[in-house]
Structure formats: C-alpha cells, structure tokens
Structure 1
Amino acid sequence: MAIGLDIVKIIKYEGDNNELVWKHPAEDFNTGSQLIVHESQEAILFKNGHALDLFGPGRHTLSTENIPLLRRITSIPTNGESPFHCEVYYINKVDIMDVYWGTAQPIPIQDPVYNIILPVRANGQFAMHVADSRKLLTKLVGTTTNLTKDKASELFKGILLTRVQNLLSDMMAVRQISFLMINSYLNEISDSIKSQVAPLYDEYGMEIVNFFVNSISVPSDDPGYIKIRNALASAKEKELSAKGTRAEMDILGYSYQEKRTFDVLDKAASNEGAGAGILVASMGMGMGVNVGGMIGGAMAGAMSNTMQGQLQQNNPAPVEEAAGEAECPSCGTRLPGRAKFCFNCGLKLGGDICPGCGKPIIAGAKFCLECGRQL
C-alpha cells in the first residue's frame, strides 16, 4: 500500500484471513487513484455513511465515469485529477474454516434412562464466509474499522449456544435418548443446529458453510456419571462371568441348568440335618420343571431316609449286598455292580455302591443321585 503525503494513489489491502472486514486508513483520494481488489476480496466505497459502488477482483481506476454513484456526490470535472473524500472497506470473502465453539457452562439435563441429572457439555467447529458485503457492513460492522473472525464469533455466540442447549434438551428429554447414546447422533444434531442458526447468520450477510458437533460429554468426576459408570461395569462383569460359565458347560457336554442343579444339591448335602433337605427341596420347586424333578426325586429319598441314613452312616451295609447289575446314572446303561466306569458313556464311578439303593456312586459325590442319601 503506497500512501503519498496528502493524496493516496494506490489503494489495496494484503492481510491474513482472520480479518473479515478492514477499513483503509486513508479517506482522501484522487479521481485517478487505483483501487486493487484481490481474488478473494470485495471493496465498497462509503460517502457520508452511504454505501456507494461495490468492486470485485481486479484493478479499478476511481473516476466519475466508472463510479456512477460517486458522480452524484462530487462536483469535480471528468478530466484531470481532483481530490475527493471517501471511505474504502475491504471484505474478505474466503471460507473461514476454524471457527470453534463450546458451552462455557454445563447444561443440566436429566438422563431419560437412568433418571440422573448430568452436567452435559458440547463443543465443535464450523466454517463461514461473507455472502453479502453490503448487508454485513450496514447491519453489523457500522462505523468500526474492522471485523475479525473472533469478534464475529463472539457476536453470534449467544444465539448459537441457545440453539445447542435447546436441541440437546429436546434429544434427551423429549426423544428419550440417553447420554450414553447421544454421541451416535452427532451428524443429526450438527445438521439440525446448522439449519436453525443459518437464517440468523444470513440476516447479517454471513453464510454457514458447514457445522460440526465434535463431542458431547460429561465431566469424569461428576457423581452422577460415576454412579452410572460403576453400575454398568458391575453389570458387564456379571454378564461376562455368566457367558464364561456357559461356555465351560458346552465344552464339558452338559447344560448350565444341570450344573446349577448339581451345585445346589452338593451344597445342601454338605449341610447336616434335615433342614438342608428342606432348603434344597424348596429351591428345586423354583428352578423349573426339569430341575425341580431332579431335585425333588433326590430330596424325596433324602427326606424319607433321614433317620435311617444317620444310623447307617455308623454301620454301613456291606458292599457285597449290592452285588449284581446297576444302572449308569448318566446314560442308563446296565453295568456290573462294582463297575469303575460306564462302558457306554465313560462316566467315572467311585467304585463303591450306595449302601441305601445299591446304585453306583459318582467319584467324589457327597450324596447318591438316585436316592439322595448322604455319603
């Protein structure tokens, strides 16, 4: 930019993209002055507060011949150079991509799933550019000498954050979307906010190119968030434990229901007295038809032979009394009375015979699966 002692000959602006509007410091020009406008710029001449001609990219000679509106307010001849007073504003038309925004204060919203009020925060960025230079200068800039990207963002901040708060409250409270799922709706939220704020920017000559919500979060030290996180962690741990037990049962070849039945019976058999039999019998009634039948059959024998079992523990019957055939408790195959394992399914037997019913005993068992007698 070259400035003479009194009159400016060359008028131009070469600044960075942070400046949306820049006013040339000189106000006195000659009719032959050269106005240079770069490809990404527009220039507007003002006289006494009135916007005159708008100049696009290129080199323009300021004269009353090519500036019709200037001719109306000057009485200078068309030939020769004569001074005139005017203001020149440069408008940056590039897309400003890195306009960041964020909620300064958290928004208290009740989670629709967990019924806990969470302090929700949101942040993101958007791009904008000047769409109407005249409208921007007359409605927003006024008499100020410049308008930066940060100043423009601050002017629209209140409008933008109000729309963000209303939309997040609508998504969680009205549409019943939990905070834990809200980030899967970022594209929908971004488009909705853009559609709401775009007309407001357009009113002042600005256009929203794109708008993004980068994240919606809650402070990690918030008590409500910690409560939800711990509850989910506990539920996940139980789920993984149950899946692991079921996988183990599939590998061993018997069902999870059978495993639970055996565990209950084994625990009850380790307790002394008839009370254990009553406990397990009552549990069997609530574990389904199949399991209840297994427990009921076993416990019925245990209850009916409680006293007899206590006497026989001190004087067990000779093994010879159970000589003969027996039945595998797993597959039902008929076996010799002293069989160590099932010839059909390979079930390992204890090598002993139940003194109560004469059936083979599973190795390590604390009661007979046939009659329920304690061993």
Structure 2
Amino acid sequence: MAIIEVVKYDGPPGVFAWKYPNPELGTWTQLIVNESQEAILFKGGQALDSFTAGRHTLSTANIPLLSNLVNLPFGGKSPFTAEIWYVNKLNSMNVKWGTSAPLQLQDPKYKMMIAVRAFGQFGVRIEEPRKFLLKLVGTLPQFDQSTMLSYFRGLLMSNINELISTYLVHKKISILEINAYVSEISKHIQGRLASTFLESGIELNNFYIDSISIPDDDPATVRLKEALAKKAEMDIIGFTYQQERSFNTMEEAAGNPGSIGAGMVNTGLGLGMGLGFAGPASEMMNRMTRGIMEGGASAAGSTAKTCPSCGAGNSAEARFCSGCGRSLQQPQPEGTPADRTACRNCGEQVVPGAKFCQHCGTSVIISCAGCGHVLQPGQKFCPECGTRAG
C-alpha cells in the first residue's frame, strides 16, 4: 500500500471525531490540521501526541515517542503504521433530542397518570479530545451527533423524567401548565447533566426543552380535557357540579311525570334541591319545576285541574292554584241542592220556582207571619221585617 504523503480532513460540523482510514504513514507525511480541529496520533492503542491547527511533519523530531515504538533512527526516514484521529472542537449547538416513547407522569393537581412527550436540543463542545476519544469513541471509525445521542439517551431520559416530575410536585402545577416553566426546567437539567458530560471530555454549553406535549389520543388526556372544559362552562354559566347534577335529575323527572322524582318536586322536596341558586340557575330551576308539574298534570288526565288564569297544572284535590293562588272551586250550576228547598210535608227537594211540591202537592209558598211578604224557597228570615220564617 502506498505511503500517504498528506493527511487532511474537511468534514461536516456534525462529526465530532473521525479516523483517517489509511494507517500507512511515513516520517515525511504531512499532517494538516484546520482551525477548530485537533489531531491525535495513536500507535498500538496509545496516544502518542496531539497536534493543533497548522501543518506538521510526522518525524521523530516532532514525535520523540515514535522512535521508541517503531525503532526508527533519530532523524531517519522510514514508513510506519499508526492511526490519526481528527477531533472537531467547534461548538455544536443543535444536537436534537426527543423522547422515543411517551413518559408516564402523574399529574399532582388532578392525580391522573398522563403520557408526556418532550423535545429539545442541546449544545456541546469537545473540551478534552484525548479523554473524549479514550472514553467514548474507542474503535469506532466516526463519532457524530447521532452516536452521541445513542450514548447519552438513557441519561437524558432518566433525568428529564425525574426532574419534570419533581418540578410538578414542588410547584403543585398540572402537566397541562408545564410549558410555562420549560426555561427553568431546562436550566435544572443542564446543571444536572453538565458534570456527567465533562467526565467524557465534553462541555455541555446549553440545554433547551423546546416543547413538552401531551398526545391528543391518550385516553387520560381526553378525559381530563373534557372535565376541564365542562368545569369552565359551568364557571361561565355560574353553577357548580352538584347543581348540574341536580338539574339533570330534575330534567329526568320532567321527562317521566309519573316517577318518584316528579312527585318529590310537586311536594316541595325537589325545590329544596335548588335552594341557593341565583340568576340563570334559578330561572332554569323554575322552568324545570313548572315543566314537571305541567307534565304531571297532563299524565293525570281528567283528574287534574288547570288554572283558567295562569294555565298551571294542579292536582284534582287542589282548591287554589299553586301558580297564582286563584280559587279552583267551580260555581254550582242551577238545580243543585244548594239552590233547592225541602217540602214541609214530605221532605223532598223542590225545584226552584215551583209553587207546589212535585212529590206530594203541598204548597211551598210561605208568607211572612209578621208582614205577609212572600218568602222565597230557602229563606229563613223575612227580608222585609226580619221575622223568622215558619
């Protein structure tokens, strides 16, 4: 294999470490290192020397240890085999990370297990190239952003899960409100991970959480959002969950007039469920109560009484309207016993206006003993002089 004359690497910024593929070198080989790069020469798994930006000749004069390892005469020219690694020392600010599967966290406010996804990015710089190569790279031909993520994914996910959960409990906030605190959580995670990265020769410059999201199709999330939407609706209208349940109960009773619930409302117990309601809630209660009473009256058929004044339904035994207070007693038609008088002879009822009893023929015309005024049937005192009849 031909001896390499010049070694150089111009790779993409997302590659942190790259090994030159040809190990056939010579003491005259030129090593070119760009700005923001550092090259390290390895022989037999041992790091011999490092080279900063510039042009370097791989001679024994520049690498004293090389003569001991390959038995080269000092200042002599000879081929040898070794590995050259290039390390990118630029700040890499866009290393993206994300949860491959949702994290299961308990919402401290609503006591529900919620699935959470998190996404973001972090920035790193290779601070100690030799330590980085020895501890992370090993025999890999290349080390890029995806490789770094695979190495640190477990560390990232465990810390993110723990810190988000701790933060939620400490602040007593819901997962639905967590996005308002991502900046503060990001700083906590960076502080926790910085020392671990530095152990591998990597400086963690920043750490960002771009978004903490909740999958829309998660059943627990759907139930929680529906409950919060219902609560917001009731807050706007102006009543509580217990009052909402009372409304539902009364609506069911209105739909079934013969039920026990309808009877409870008619007797006043149902009205007690709605005490304390104000505004729209009170009006709703009144409408439902009236509907139940009217529904009960319709179901009762001919046994119910309808008020001729307000139209409210009343029970058959009611003497006054429960809606407006008007008397429900019907005037007695002509010919009822209240308008008749009894025959003095046989005791039978005589039709009003008759002069003789239709049963025995006895005259029913009575004259006042005091003034002679003819008394009408049923009169017990004379309207002229006040004398008692009979």
Q: Secondary structure at the match of 1:310?
A: coil
Q: Secondary structure at the match of 2:27?
A: strand
Displacement after TM superposition at 1:281 (Å): 11
Displacement after TM superposition at 1:36 (Å): 0.1
1:297-308 to 2 correspondence within 5 Å? none
CA distance in 1, matches of 2:275, 2:190: 61
1:315-330 to 2 correspondence within 5 Å? none
**Is structure 2 residue 38 aligned with structure 1 residue 22?**
no
1:1-375 to 2 correspondence within 5 Å? 6-241=2-237, 286=276, 310=326
Q: Secondary structure at the match of 2:200?
A: coil
Conservation of the 8 A alpha-carbon contact between 2:18 and 2:85? yes
Query: Aligned in 2, Cα 1:313/1:155: closer, same or farther, shift over 3 Å?
Result: same
Conservation of the 8 A alpha-carbon contact between 1:40 and 1:92? yes
CA distance in 2, matches of 1:15, 1:90: 10
- Identity level (%): 41
Give the letter aligned to residue 77 of structure 1: P
Displacement after TM superposition at 1:92 (Å): 1.3
Conservation of the 8 A alpha-carbon contact between 1:124 and 1:215? yes
Give the letter aligned to residue 147 of structure 2: K
Query: Aligned in 2, Cα 1:199/1:277: closer, same or farther, shift over 3 Å?
Result: same
CA distance in 2, matches of 1:160, 1:114: 27
Give the letter aligned to residue 116 of structure 1: M
Query: Aligned in 2, Cα 1:287/1:111: closer, same or farther, shift over 3 Å?
Result: closer
Greater displacement, 217-226 / 75-84: 75-84
Normalised by the size of structure 2, how large is the TM-score?
0.60
Structure number with the bigger relative contact order (C-alpha 8 A, sep ≥ 6) is 1
Query: Aligned in 2, Cα 1:285/1:55: closer, same or farther, shift over 3 Å?
Result: closer
CA distance in 1, matches of 2:184, 2:14: 29
Query: Aligned in 2, Cα 1:284/1:215: closer, same or farther, shift over 3 Å?
Result: closer
Displacement after TM superposition at 1:312 (Å): 11
CA distance in 1, matches of 2:87, 2:212: 35
Displacement after TM superposition at 1:33 (Å): 1.6
Q: Secondary structure at the match of 1:121?
A: strand
Displacement after TM superposition at 1:150 (Å): 0.7
Conservation of the 8 A alpha-carbon contact between 1:183 and 1:216? yes
CA distance in 2, matches of 1:68, 1:128: 33
Conservation of the 8 A alpha-carbon contact between 2:41 and 2:85? yes
Structure 1: give runs of 5+ residues left out of the alignment. Answer: 244-274, 289-305, 316-375
Aligned to 2:347: none
Displacement after TM superposition at 1:153 (Å): 1.1
Conservation of the 8 A alpha-carbon contact between 1:109 and 1:172? no
User: Highest CA radius of gyration, 1 or 2?
Assistant: 2
Greater displacement, 103-112 / 178-187: 103-112
Conservation of the 8 A alpha-carbon contact between 2:107 and 2:174? yes
Displacement after TM superposition at 1:242 (Å): 5.0
CA distance in 2, matches of 1:63, 1:122: 52
Displacement after TM superposition at 1:278 (Å): 7.7
Conservation of the 8 A alpha-carbon contact between 1:110 and 1:172? no
Conservation of the 8 A alpha-carbon contact between 1:113 and 1:176? yes
Query: Aligned in 2, Cα 1:282/1:133: closer, same or farther, shift over 3 Å?
Result: closer
Root mean square deviation of aligned Cα: 3.2
Q: Secondary structure at the match of 1:32?
A: coil
Conservation of the 8 A alpha-carbon contact between 1:110 and 1:173? no
CA distance in 1, matches of 2:125, 2:271: 78
CA distance in 2, matches of 1:68, 1:7: 21
Displacement after TM superposition at 1:191 (Å): 0.9
Q: Deviations over 1:109-150 (max 9, x none)?
A: 221222221112212111212111100111111222221221
Displacement after TM superposition at 1:50 (Å): 0.7
Conservation of the 8 A alpha-carbon contact between 2:59 and 2:75? no
Aligned to 2:249: none
Query: Aligned in 2, Cα 1:283/1:192: closer, same or farther, shift over 3 Å?
Result: closer
CA distance in 1, matches of 2:276, 2:111: 33
Conservation of the 8 A alpha-carbon contact between 1:128 and 1:207? yes
Normalised by the size of structure 1, how large is the TM-score?
0.63
Conservation of the 8 A alpha-carbon contact between 2:8 and 2:33? yes
Structure 2: give runs of 5+ residues left out of the alignment. Answer: 240-264, 279-319, 332-390
